Amino acid sequence: MNPTGPVLAATDFSPHARHAADRAARIAHAKGAPLALLHVLPGEALASLRQWLGAANAPEAQLTGDAREQLQRLATELGAARHVEVACSVTAGPPVDEILREAERLDARLIVLGARGIGFLRRLVLGTTAERLLRRTARPLLVVRQTPHERYRRVLVALDFSPWSGQALALARRIAPHAQLVLFSAFEVPFGEKLRFAGVDAATIEAYRHKARTDATLAVHRLAAAAGLKPAQWQACVVEGDASLRLVEKEQELDCDLVVLGKHGVAATVDLLLGSVTKHVLAEGSTDVAVSTAQEP
């Protein structure tokens, strides 16, 4: 991926998509990168229109022209407000295919989407379209839920110390270089309450729990040190419980405005699957979510 490539924002002109485009423009400006705006006309609907009215029908031309004008107005607004170079593209076809094709053509450094939409992005986050996009791209994805009034202030970075964790931390620092980082790790005592029924005494279970917390805390500190983070730049957040649930809780409790996770594959044969934690945060979280699609060698 080209480190000087553009930030690509896909928009259907809905309010959430406008927020996403604004956030993309802010990130592009901060990184000295151009912004690329993409609008995808629904390929199936256009094909039906051609079938009804013929290949050279006026409504299709009108729809395309209107989309270009609307996209150009958005580009002009963002270019003036965020002091960033903006390029526009209107295409037609399956949304995921077109987003991926444009990202490859531009060698985009980041793909940015709104969390909700009125057109082709309507189900992009919570439906299968988002999962297909994340399975098929090697580029990081940012899903924007909030109005971007300012740069990111506090970022919750989910760490499970898999090969994805280091890249998730690196993505957080690229998107939010001035934010306070909260390095999150959740641990669970295997078999939990079942150990009591198996005759394991409470003191032994508590020692087991203490060791799990200590190991996770040390791992967080090692990762922060390896990333070159200074003490003032980050804090540890090590909790017990289900990572999916606790991550959403801490996002709200600590007033974070961005959560960053890895895509999470556990082996080469399932590298293209989304992890359950990532799925849960995309579906249940209330703040912006960035997903790193890279892992350490």
Q: Report which DSSP code applies to 57.
A: -
> Six-digit token pair at 156?
């919750």
Q: What is the mean pLDDT of residues 217-230?
A: 96
pLDDT in tens, 74-127: 999 999 999 999 999 999 888 889 999 999 999 999 999 887 655 544 444 444
Q: Where are the chain's structural domains?
A: 7-144, 154-292
pLDDT in tens, 27-82: 999 999 999 999 998 755 555 555 555 555 556 577 788 889 999 999 999 999 99
Q: What is the pLDDT of residue 122?
A: 46
**Using the 8-state DSSP alphabet, how is residue 257 labeled?**
S
Number of Cβ within 10 Å of residue 113's Cβ equals 27
> Which of 37-46, 98-107, 204-213, 243-252 is the least confident region?
37-46
Q: Is there a shared CATH topology between the 7-144 domain and the 154-292 domain? A: yes
Could you give the residue ranges of the DSSP H alpha helices within 161-294? Answer: 165-175, 194-197, 202-226, 243-253, 276-284
Confidence of residue 269 (pLDDT cuts 50, 70, 90): very low
Give me the architecture of the 7-144 domain, per CATH.
3-Layer(aba) Sandwich (3.40)
**Fold (CATH) for 154-292:** Rossmann fold (3.40.50)
Q: What percent of the chain is predicted at pLDDT more than 70? A: 79
Q: What's the CA gap between 285 and 262, in Å, rounded?
A: 15
